[in-house]
A and B are shown apart, each in its own frame.
Chain A
Amino acid sequence: MSPPVGPPRRQHLIGAWLLLSGLSLFGGAFLALWLESRLAPAGAERIALWGGCLVGAGLLFLLGLLLERRLFAPLRHLQVQIARMVASPDARDDYRPEGWLSGLGPDLLRLREHWRQDRSQLAGAHAAGARGAARIRQELEALLQVLDTPLLLCDRHRRLLLFNQAAEALFSEHPGFGLGKRLEGLFDLASLSEALDRLPADGTSRELLVPLKDRWLHGCLRRVPNSDHETLITLTDSTAAWHCEMDTRVRLTECLTAVRRHGAGLSSAAEALGHLHSSTHATNRATNRATGHKHDQETQLPAAPSIPSHEALPAASLGSREAPLSSRLADIIDEESQGLGQAIDQLGKSLEALQRQGERLAPLWSNDLWQALNDHLAGSSLVLTPIGMPAWFKADAPALLVMLEALTSRLGELAEVRHLDAEVCLGNRRVYLDLIWLGTPMTQHQLAGWKALRLDALPLSPRIEDLLHQHDSDLWSLQDPDGRHARLRCPLPAVERVGAPLTRPSPRPEFHDFGIADLPPPEAELAACPLAQLEVVAFDTETTGLALRQDDRVISIGACRIVNGRLLADDTFDVRVDPGRPIPPASTAIHGLTDSDVLGAPPLSQALPRFRDYLGDAVILAHNAAFDLLALQSPGAEVALNMPVLDTLLLSRALDPSLDGHDLDSLADRYALSFAEGTRHTALGDARVTAELWLAMRTRLEARGVQTLADALALQSSAFDHQDASA
């Protein structure tokens, strides 16, 4: 890129002109003196000689004056005019070309009018199209906003493109939430990355449980078809209303247990009755038939010694009269109780299947659970170390988390350990969550006490036993084969589709094999980013004075953000800073801030990290950035601002080297920008104008082939070099 070419600088021209005029004047004077000494003219001849010798210098002076007045000054005005026309085409303070350029007046006027006409026609057509689009958009926006389901849309780099009101309400306090921010800032989850990487392109959804502070969200992820890898995420707060279903299940299970018990009593009794019948029948027949069969009788009787004779006798006498009917009835009871038993078994299996497929139980990645558990345990001295292979399983994550927290803290106290290992073992259709410690296993008696504990952190304060039921689970404790470690085991339903260990090497998608190392590094990606898509944070500082290298300090930092070519209205940073010294009245006269205004404000060492957080991944923009950056690098504030820096002062110099006036006021005037009432010389007000200045300049930069951040930085540094060389 070549440096821009324009008329020479005014100072250079005037210097050259005065130098030439001076030289000719002295040259003419010397010539006149020399001729006078040679020719010794007198009177009118002498006047003519001097006149002749000095006329050249005079002509040169007049010519220079004429050129500056009639040509160069009008040229500079024309340059400003054209710059303004490009930057803000609709500004109305036009003026006609002067001097020798006044002939261009009508043409320029015509050009400007046509340019404005075209623009207004274009704007009209654009507005008509936009109105149609806006109507559709409004309807869609209204739909999105009234939708109760929190909804997020992110691009291929997982940056947030869209969210609705429900999502905003859900994440209202979250610092990682905002347009253009990355999803990883919102949910720091390995499983989320994994799920996003593996999302099918056809829009089929994947489900995931996502922890958010004290809640768990049930997320549904799907790729938007026909988009550039955009992902739609809908969320449901799964912490609410789970208890209702659990309650029903518990009752059903208890009821089934009772039915089983009664069924068992019934069928055993029926079988016993059957046996009794056949034996008394046989006895009856024996006594009825003959007296010579005493031997048979003796072999039969000891078989039923516990049946008292007074009970046996009526049955026997009954049997003697209505044997066929009573034995048939006994058979019926036996048969029916067997049928009942089978039906109960069937019912039990159905209930178990229902439990396993329960929609409250959602797939959960073990490492996420351990991480969340460690977060919950952060206040206690207990540390959990996940070991072995991670796995997917199904759980009601919020409830499970509360339960495990209660269990681990009690286990820590009981076993007097501060460190537990956590392992996931794979069983048959089940995954075992094991907590492992150095010591002996717990007894069932101890566990029974724990199972009766109520968890008040959950709605309805369920007992641990209820939660175990909900998960079709239980607790038991085992000694490890090494004899030194013991484990507490909690089985949970496995997720069918990933029953095998997830870490099993799977066939890799092609892009994993090629390329990761060949991809440009993130910095290079940023350098090639088109200016229009650059995320920029414009900032400004107010200070106690200009002697930053001595003892002047920052008293206010203001910043605003440009995302995708738009200055975001309410995404601002405006913080006062305690300078740790009095604010001089001369400085107050500029920005209006007094000592009482910064009373109680944080020192720079606290304000700067917050500013760094606000910056995020954005590029810095400031007017005369060197000053503001120096202001932020005051002693005691060790925060690196190592992102690329754009400077509107340097860019303006590079764009218009022949013009004077590159201060913020002159540029605001040149680009027809205005400060909001009373905001000039406030950090945020100046930052906003700097941001708008950047947006106005960007058009002119792009017209000169400056398309990317790298281009802009190169142009800026050329202006910097230029300034250095001429200084």
Chain B
Amino acid sequence: MAKVLVVDDEPNIVLSLEFLMQQAGFEVVTAEDGESALTRVAEAPPDLVLLDISLPGISGFDVLERLRANPTLTRLPIIMLTAHGREVEREKGLALGADDYITKPFSTQALVDKVKTLLDESAA
């Protein structure tokens, strides 16, 4: 079973996402800020990361950059989640190495589809 790390500081969204991802058949690990996300990844690298940009402490971009700086994680699929919805943020996220970018509010079905596609690609 593929393991997905959900990083978001909104407990309401984390709860819903966790349930829905489990429904879709994934193993879900959560983190509520950037530091704990990095710790989770260090403990046991997940197969995919759903990463919110606005996090307390270090930002999602910061986490993304540090993950990508680790040579063993360069192929780890990372999907950015944001409540800003600015086109320039999308560009920035992709420039810093994110694989995809989803603006809140999002359709869970679309999110699940994206996660599945990315996992298939990284497995290939």
A488 smallest CB distance to B (angstroms) = 12
* Set of chain B residues within 8 Å of A430, measured between Cβ atoms: 88, 91
Does B108 touch A at the CB level, under 8 Å?
A: yes
- The one of B12, B64, B83, B86 that contacts A352, using a Cβ cutoff of 8 Å: B86
Q: Main SS of chain A's interface residues?
A: helix
Does A138 touch B at the CB level, under 8 Å?
A: no
A399 to B1, alpha carbons, bound, how many Å?
Answer: 52
One of B39-47, B55-63, B113-121 contacting the partner:
B55-63
* Set of chain B residues within 8 Å of A275, measured between Cβ atoms: 19-20, 23
Pairwise interchain contact A260-B103, C-beta atoms closer than 8 A? yes
- The one of A264, A305, A443 that contacts B65, using a Cβ cutoff of 8 Å: A443
> Most chain-A Cβ atoms within 10 A of its Cβ — which of B13, B86, B92?
B86
A444 to B106, alpha carbons, bound, how many Å?
Answer: 26
Given contacts A260-B83, A473-B88, contact A272 B19 (CB under 8 A): yes
A348 to B96, alpha carbons, bound, how many Å?
Answer: 23
* Set of chain A residues within 8 Å of B109, measured between Cβ atoms: 271
Does A59 touch B at the CB level, under 8 Å?
A: no
Pairwise interchain contact B13-A264, C-beta atoms closer than 8 A? yes
Does A478 touch B at the CB level, under 8 Å?
A: yes
Does B95 touch A at the CB level, under 8 Å?
A: yes
> Most chain-A Cβ atoms within 10 A of its Cβ — which of B18, B84, B109?
B84
CB-nearest residue of chain A to B58: A445
A518 smallest CB distance to B (angstroms) = 50
- The one of B18, B20, B64, B85 that contacts A348, using a Cβ cutoff of 8 Å: B85
A344 to B89, alpha carbons, bound, how many Å?
Answer: 17
How many interface residues does A have (CB within 8 Å)?
43
Does A491 touch B at the CB level, under 8 Å?
A: yes
* Set of chain B residues within 8 Å of A276, measured between Cβ atoms: 19
Does B70 touch A at the CB level, under 8 Å?
A: no
Pairwise interchain contact A344-B105, C-beta atoms closer than 8 A? yes
CB-nearest residue of chain B to A469: B86
Given contacts A444-B96, A445-B58, contact A306 B18 (CB under 8 A): yes
* Set of chain B residues within 8 Å of A491, measured between Cβ atoms: 88, 91
* Set of chain A residues within 8 Å of B18, measured between Cβ atoms: 306
Q: Would you list which residues of chain B between 1 and 57 have a CB under 8 Å from chain A?
A: 10, 12-13, 15-20, 22-23, 54
Does B104 touch A at the CB level, under 8 Å?
A: yes
A276 to B16, alpha carbons, bound, how many Å?
Answer: 11
A473 to B91, alpha carbons, bound, how many Å?
Answer: 10
A268 to B91, alpha carbons, bound, how many Å?
Answer: 25
Q: Would you list which residues of chain A between 252 and 283 have a CB under 8 Å from chain B?
A: 253, 256-258, 260-261, 263-269, 271-272, 275-276
- The one of B12, B62, B87, B103 that contacts A445, using a Cβ cutoff of 8 Å: B62
A476 smallest CB distance to B (angstroms) = 5
Does B107 touch A at the CB level, under 8 Å?
A: yes
* Set of chain A residues within 8 Å of B23, measured between Cβ atoms: 275, 303-304
One of A333-341, A411-419, A543-551, A602-610 contacting the partner:
A333-341
CB-nearest residue of chain A to B17: A268
A580 smallest CB distance to B (angstroms) = 65
Pairwise interchain contact A272-B88, C-beta atoms closer than 8 A? no
Does A448 touch B at the CB level, under 8 Å?
A: yes
Pairwise interchain contact A444-B107, C-beta atoms closer than 8 A? no
* Set of chain B residues within 8 Å of A263, measured between Cβ atoms: 104-105
Does A474 touch B at the CB level, under 8 Å?
A: yes
A638 smallest CB distance to B (angstroms) = 56
Pairwise interchain contact B59-A261, C-beta atoms closer than 8 A? no
Given contacts A265-B12, A275-B23, contact A340 B65 (CB under 8 A): no
A395 smallest CB distance to B (angstroms) = 14
Pairwise interchain contact B65-A341, C-beta atoms closer than 8 A? no
* Set of chain A residues within 8 Å of B95, measured between Cβ atoms: 476, 478, 489
CB-nearest residue of chain A to B22: A306
B75 smallest CB distance to A (angstroms) = 18
Pairwise interchain contact A261-B83, C-beta atoms closer than 8 A? yes
Does A113 touch B at the CB level, under 8 Å?
A: no
Pairwise interchain contact A265-B16, C-beta atoms closer than 8 A? yes
A552 to B34, alpha carbons, bound, how many Å?
Answer: 83
* Set of chain B residues within 8 Å of A345, measured between Cβ atoms: 85, 103
* Set of chain A residues within 8 Å of B20, measured between Cβ atoms: 268, 271-272, 275
- The one of B13, B19, B88, B91 that contacts A265, using a Cβ cutoff of 8 Å: B13
B102 smallest CB distance to A (angstroms) = 10
Pairwise interchain contact B16-A304, C-beta atoms closer than 8 A? no
Pairwise interchain contact A304-B19, C-beta atoms closer than 8 A? yes
* Set of chain B residues within 8 Å of A474, measured between Cβ atoms: 86, 88-89, 92
Pairwise interchain contact A472-B88, C-beta atoms closer than 8 A? yes
Pairwise interchain contact B22-A305, C-beta atoms closer than 8 A? yes
Q: Would you list which residues of chain B between 61 and 105 have a CB under 8 Å from chain A?
A: 61-62, 64-65, 83-89, 91-92, 95-96, 103-105
A272 to B20, alpha carbons, bound, how many Å?
Answer: 6
* Set of chain A residues within 8 Å of B88, measured between Cβ atoms: 430, 472-474, 491
CB-nearest residue of chain A to B87: A352
- The one of B13, B54, B65 that contacts A268, using a Cβ cutoff of 8 Å: B13
A256 to B87, alpha carbons, bound, how many Å?
Answer: 14
* Set of chain A residues within 8 Å of B54, measured between Cβ atoms: 257
A429 to B18, alpha carbons, bound, how many Å?
Answer: 37
Pairwise interchain contact A341-B107, C-beta atoms closer than 8 A? yes
* Set of chain A residues within 8 Å of B12, measured between Cβ atoms: 265, 268-269
B104 smallest CB distance to A (angstroms) = 4
A453 to B100, alpha carbons, bound, how many Å?
Answer: 30
* Set of chain A residues within 8 Å of B15, measured between Cβ atoms: 269, 272
A640 smallest CB distance to B (angstroms) = 55
A271 to B16, alpha carbons, bound, how many Å?
Answer: 8
Given contacts A260-B83, A304-B23, A473-B88, contact A444 B108 (CB under 8 A): no
Given contacts A304-B23, A445-B58, A448-B59, contact A256 B85 (CB under 8 A): yes
CB-nearest residue of chain B to A263: B105
A473 to B109, alpha carbons, bound, how many Å?
Answer: 30
Task: Name 7 extra pairs, CB < 8 A, besides A257-B84, A267-B107.
Answer: A257-B83, A261-B10, A275-B19, A352-B86, A476-B92, A478-B95, A491-B88
Using CB atoms and an 8 Å cutoff, list the residues of chain A in contact with chain B: 253, 256-258, 260-261, 263-269, 271-272, 275-276, 303-307, 337-338, 340-341, 344-345, 348, 352, 427, 430, 443-445, 448, 472-474, 476, 478, 489, 491
A–B pairs, 19, beta carbons within 8 Å? A260-B83, A264-B10, A264-B106, A265-B16, A268-B16, A269-B12, A269-B16, A271-B108, A272-B15, A338-B107, A344-B105, A345-B103, A348-B86, A352-B86, A443-B62, A444-B64, A444-B65, A476-B61, A476-B92
Closest 8 CB pairs of A and B: A268-B16, A264-B104, A263-B105, A341-B105, A265-B12, A264-B105, A260-B83, A444-B62
